[in-house]
Amino acid sequence: MMKRLLITGAGGNLGRQMRARLGDLAEIVRLADRGNMEPAGENEEVVTCDLGDAEAVSKMVEGCDAIVHFGGQPVEAPWSVVKNANIDGMYNLYEACRIHGCNRVVFASSNHAVGFFRQDEVIDNTIYPKPDGLYGVSKVFGEMIASMYFHKFGIETASVRIGSCFPEPSNHRALSTWLSFDDLERLIRRCLDVPKLGCPVIYGNSANTANFWDNSKVAWLGWKPQDNAEDYRAEVDAAREKPAADAPDVVYQGGGFTADGIHQE
Ligand code: 15L
């Protein structure tokens, strides 16, 4: 068992879920966020950290054996916000990893790194990205800085292009992009457990019948998602009007993000 696992973004949607599930992986779980978190429980440490603050990030990473990095700006935003958390923040994180010898990261990248691919094309994890906004661009940057720190310094990262990770698929696009919390947990456990991880990009969706992502090149990881958004199709159909055939939510993998403008400061 590792000594200390760091979960960043621990106050957010995925951080809170995985905090409740991954406690057995380390003697101590360090939880970090810029905002509010539940107080530390048994075997937990709580740290407040703005990812743009290099010194604070260095202290956050010191003493950690592995990182599950959910921290960062999670949707489209003005450039200064994206840059602080997802560009400067990623540089600060990997510098801290290099300096303190933390060699394994699970990075919450996003489907918005490839949002401008169409839903009628199947793409694999080696395709050249087509981000759908500044946020998507920042996730491509995150994948690239992870690649550089792997090839130069041996720091291993799984960049998971997460689809839509919520309790249930809530719209028609999510019938393809949904990732259940259980499947995310299984994926993180594999990425932290596998002896040699390297630096793969992995699509993060469940075993959905409707699917435009091909993970066959990372089959070696042994991650087998088990849930299927198809089970919720009738519910989604009943709750939501079917979008028009030319709506961004139907045409593009990134859905509505592709139609968003550049957010001003
Ligand atoms: C993301 O990257 C966001 O963090 C999340 O809030 C969802 O919007 C998700 O993508 C999605 O595409 O459904």
Interface ipTM: 0.99
Determine the Cα–Cα distance for residues 214 and 169; give it in Å rounded to an integer. 20
As a whole number, mean pLDDT of residues 24-28 equals: 98
Q: For residue 136, name the pLDDT band (cuts at 50, 70, 90).
A: very high
Determine the Cα–Cα distance for residues 70 and 109; give it in Å rounded to an integer. 9
- pTM of the predicted model, to two decimals? 0.98
Mean pLDDT of the chain: 98
Q: Which residue has the tokens 């400061």?
A: 265
Per-residue pLDDT tens for 71-120?
999 999 999 999 999 999 999 999 999 999 999 999 999 999 999 999 99
Q: Given this model, what pLDDT does residue 47 score? A: 98
Instruction: Specify whether the CB–CB gap between 5 and 68 falls below 8 A.
Output: yes
As a whole number, mean pLDDT of residues 216-228 equals: 98
Q: Given this model, what pLDDT does residue 224 score? A: 98
Q: Given this model, what pLDDT does residue 252 score? A: 98
The protein residue whose alpha carbon is closest to atom 2 in ligand 1 is 110
Q: Given this model, what pLDDT does residue 58 score? A: 98
Residues forming the active site: 135
Strands 2-8 and 66-69: parallel
Q: Which domain holds residue 89?
A: 2-259
Q: Does 11 reside within a domain?
A: yes
Q: Does 265 reside within a domain?
A: no
Q: How many CB atoms lie within 10 A of CB 64?
A: 25
Ligand 1, from 132, 161, 164: best to mutate by most atoms within 8 Å of Cβ? 164
The alpha helices in 199-247, defined as continuous H runs, are 233-239
CATH number of domain containing 142:
3.40.50.720
Instruction: Specify whether the CB–CB gap between 131 and 140 falls below 8 A.
Output: yes
Q: For residue 43, name the pLDDT band (cuts at 50, 70, 90).
A: very high
CA of 260 to the centre of ligand 1 (A): 13
Q: Does 264 reside within a domain?
A: no
Determine the Cα–Cα distance for residues 147 and 205; give it in Å rounded to an integer. 22
Total number of domains constituting the chain: 1
The alpha helices in the chain, defined as continuous H runs, are 13-19, 54-61, 79-82, 89-100, 134-153, 174-177, 181-193, 233-239, 248-251
Containing 59, the helix (H) or strand (E) segment is helix 54-61
CA of 1 to the centre of ligand 1 (A): 32
Q: Does 132 reside within a domain?
A: yes
